Structures are given as structure tokens and as C-alpha cells.
Amino acid sequence: MSTPQRGILPEGSSHVIFLTLRRRLGRPADAAMRTLIGQLPQHAEEVAAVYPEARFSAVLALGEHGWADLFGDARPARFRGFPRIAGAIHPAPATEGDLLLHVRAERYDLVYEFADRFATSLQAWFEVVESVTAFKYREWRDLTGFVDGTENPHGDDERAEAALVGDEDAAWAGGSYVHTQRYVHRMQQWNALAVKQQEAVMGRTKAQDEELSDEDKPLTAHIARVVIEEDGKELEMLRHSMPYGTPGGEKGLLFASYCRTPDVFEKMLARMVAPTSDGRVDHLLTYSRAVTGGAFFAPSREVLQALAA
Ligand code: HEM
């Protein structure tokens, strides 16, 4: 029996925190640390049960470094660090982290409290390296003004197919390969473009959120880069990206994807940042640059809970 962590499959939420933590040097892993990590799915269930209207959920994913402290030599078949893309001309830095907590709900207070309790309970072993508070903007739009998430798989079956490890790696079934990148938008340059130019960058219309025709869609458009067909099927990922920002300050998109295999994210990213496949890169990256990058694995609830046994 393998159940995905609450928070992978459900549709988006209005309030989100992405918390990245890193192991402190000099404090070895012990049973108390493993228990706190293993209790997370149960704690998330409890909050969700008390406030059903808030649609609370949380996912805990673990980075490669420090993995052995929790699971020894056992690891998902395709687990690896954030990719270094050969020939990249746009930045895609690997900043890594040892834990990623992705908490979301329709109530910010619940999200905040859960993330804070988690970070505080583990502070002897882990320090917070980044906490990004993200929010639903208008009709699920990115701060560029374009709707984000339209072509995500919909419905639990399709979403599970894209996001969850299956029988191909039975010991880790119900788990998911997670990638995050914090993008900072160049809003001034972006806003200086006419809407038609912005649409050519994205490959979709802005107001109506429709895909441009093949004749109108440049090969450098974002969606032209990330739609990849193999053996007659499009590669699928489940995105949970969300806008973040401070008024008058830095703003952008916290990109987050959940995949059955890390190959999907890696292939899409390669076609965005490196001109190796057809001499082109993603024009969107002229207007937004990645400043962080992390690769994680979110084990099933049962696998995580076994740490607390
Ligand atoms: C589609 C924005 C980064 C993968 C889209 C869409 C927007 C968007 C507006 C169209 C609506 C939709 O179907 O969701 C952005 C922004 C990014 C970003 C603002 C960063 C600045 C990425 C990255 C990847 C990615 C890093 C993967 C490595 C996809 C995929 C689609 C998509 C798979 C759906 C394509 C389709 O099936 O038509 N993105 N994206 N995006 N994006 Fe991104």
C-alpha cells in the first residue's frame, strides 16, 4: 500500500509556503530527528481534519545530500541532484537543500503556523535557508499576467500518472521527483513589451489564455520549448508553480514540478536554457532568471511514517 503525501495531487491553493532547509554541521542524525520527519504526514492529516474548509495540505521532500541519514543505502532508482545542463546560456543554478516543505491551504494562518512549527521543531538539526511565501494571483495568473497551469494534467488519475512513481520502482511507489526553481522576473523589461510580443514569448494569448496557432507561435516561445513529444506522447509533469513578491521589490515565480521520473524536468529545462537541441532557447528567460534550483524526492506517506516507528 503506498499513498502519495497529501498535497501532491490536489489542484492549487491560494496560500503557499515553500520552505527549504539545510542540515547544520556537527549535529548527527538521530532517532529524534527521524521521528520528527516521519510524523509530518500525520500532523498534516490532523490539521486538514480540523479545518476541512481550508483544504490544507503539506508535502515533505528530501534532497540527495543527507538522504542516507534517513534511508541508508536504499534510494529511488532515478534519484539524483539538480541537473547541470551542458551548453546552457541561461542560468539554471543548483542551490540544493536537504529538505523542502511545500505547505498550502485557503488560509494563510494555517500554512504559516505549520511551516513555523516544523522549522522550529527541527532547528537543532536543520536551518532554514529560504522561505518563499507565494499566493494565488487573479485567475491563477503568473505576475507576467499570463494564466499558469492551464495545460497541467487534470483529475486524480491523470495527475497521478504524471507525478507518481509506479510499479517500475515498487519500493518507492507513490513517491514523486520534485524540482524547484525560484525565478526573478524583469518586470520593467517585460512590461515594456506590447501584449502581442508578450504572447509570442509565451506562445499563448494573454487575456483569453489560448494557445497560438503553429504559424503564429515562434520556436522560441515558452510552450514551444517545453512541449516535447516522445513516441507519439507528450511528456507530462504536474506543476505547482506560484507567484511570489514584495511590493516595489523582487518578484517572480516559484516554479515547482512533481514527476514520475526526473527525466521530464531535465529534458524540458535543457530545451529552455541550452541551444543544443535545435539552436534555440526559451525567449521567456530573457525576462526572468532562475536564482535557485533544487531536486528532491517526496516519499509516500507510508515510507515517511516508517521513519517515526
Ligand atoms: C506552460 C509560465 C518555467 C514547464 C506555461 C504557461 C505559462 C508558463 C504562462 C502556459 C499555461 C499553462 O499551460 O500552464 C512559466 C514561467 C516560468 C516557467 C513564468 C518561469 C519564469 C517553466 C519551467 C518548466 C515549465 C522551468 C519545466 C522545466 C511548462 C510546461 C507547460 C508550461 C510543461 C505546459 C505546456 C503545454 O502543455 O502547453 N508556463 N513557466 N515552465 N510550462 Fe512554464
DSSP string, 154-208: -SHHHHHHHHS--GGGGGGTT-EEEEEEEEEE-HHHHHTS-HHHHHHHHTB-SSS
Ligand 1 atom with the shortest distance to the CA of 268:
28
Report pLDDT digits (tens) over 104-124: 999 999 999 999 999 999 999
Q: What average pLDDT does the segment 25-30 reach?
A: 92
Quick check: is 215 in a domain? yes
Cα(128)–Cα(134) distance, integer angstroms: 17
Q: What is the pLDDT of residues 278-288, one digit of tens each?
A: 999 999 999 99
Q: Cell triple for residue 64?
A: 540527495
Counting ligand 1 atoms within 8 A of each CB, the residue from 179, 198, 223 with the most, and so the one to mutate, is: 223
- Count other C-beta atoms under 10 Å from residue 251's C-beta: 15
Rounded mean pLDDT of 137-164? 98
Alpha carbon of 45 to ligand 1 centroid (Å): 30
7 within domain boundaries = no
CB 126 within 8 Å of CB 23? yes
275 occurs within a structural domain: yes
Q: What is the mean pLDDT of residues 21-43?
A: 96
The one catalytic residue in 148, 156, 263, 282 is: 148
Straight-line distance from the first to the last Cα atom of the chain, in angstroms, rounded to the nearest whole number:
17
Measured distance CA(295)–CA(80) in Å, rounded: 7
Total count of domains within the chain: 1
Question: Does 5 reside within a domain?
Answer: no
Residue nearest atom 37 of ligand 1, based on CA coordinates: 151
State how far the Cα of 309 lies from the Cα of 301, in Å rounded to an integer: 13
What residues are paired with 267 via a beta bridge?
none
| Confidence class for position 1, pLDDT limits 50, 70, 90 | low
How much of the chain, in percent, has pLDDT values that exceed 70? 100
Contacts of 217 (CB under 8 A, 6+ apart): 200, 203, 211, 223, 224
Atom 5 (ligand 1): residue with closest C-alpha?
Answer: 148
Grid cell 500525520 — which residue?
42
Nearest CA to ligand 1 atom 18: 255
DSSP state of 103: E
- CB count within 10 Å of CB 171 equals 14
Residue-wise pLDDT for 237-278, tens only, equals 999 999 999 999 999 999 999 999 999 999 999 999 999 889
Given this model, what pLDDT does residue 186 score? 98
Question: Would you say residue 19 lies in a domain?
Answer: yes
Given this model, what pLDDT does residue 96 score?
Answer: 79
State the pLDDT at residue 58: 98
Any idea what DSSP says for residue 145? S
Cα–ligand 1 centroid distance for 37 (angstroms): 31
Show the cell assigned to 42: 500525520
Helix H or strand E segment including 298 = strand 294-298
CB 287 near ligand 1, within 6 Å? no
Distance CA 39, CA 308 (A): 6
Q: Does 209 participate in catalysis according to the annotation?
A: no
pTM of this structure: 0.98
The finding on whether 265 has its CB within 6 A of some atom of ligand 1 is yes
Burial class (CB within 10 angstroms; exposed 0-12, middle 13-18, buried 19+) of 195: exposed
Q: How far is the CA of 223 from the centre of ligand 1 (A)?
A: 6
d(CA 287, CA 64): 31
Average pLDDT over residues 66-70: 93
Domain that includes residue 151, residue range: 15-308
Task: Give bridge partners of residue 251 from the DSSP assignment.
Answer: 245
265 in a domain, yes or no?
Answer: yes
User: Is the CB of 142 inside a 6 Å radius of any atom of ligand 1?
Assistant: yes
Domain assignment present for residue 301? The answer is yes
Give the pLDDT confidence of 78-87 residue by residue, as tens digits. Answer: 999 999 999 9
Q: What is the separation of C-alpha 36 from the centre of its chain, rounded to a whole number of angstroms?
A: 23
DSSP 254: E
In ligand 1, the atom with minimum distance to the C-alpha of 142 is 19
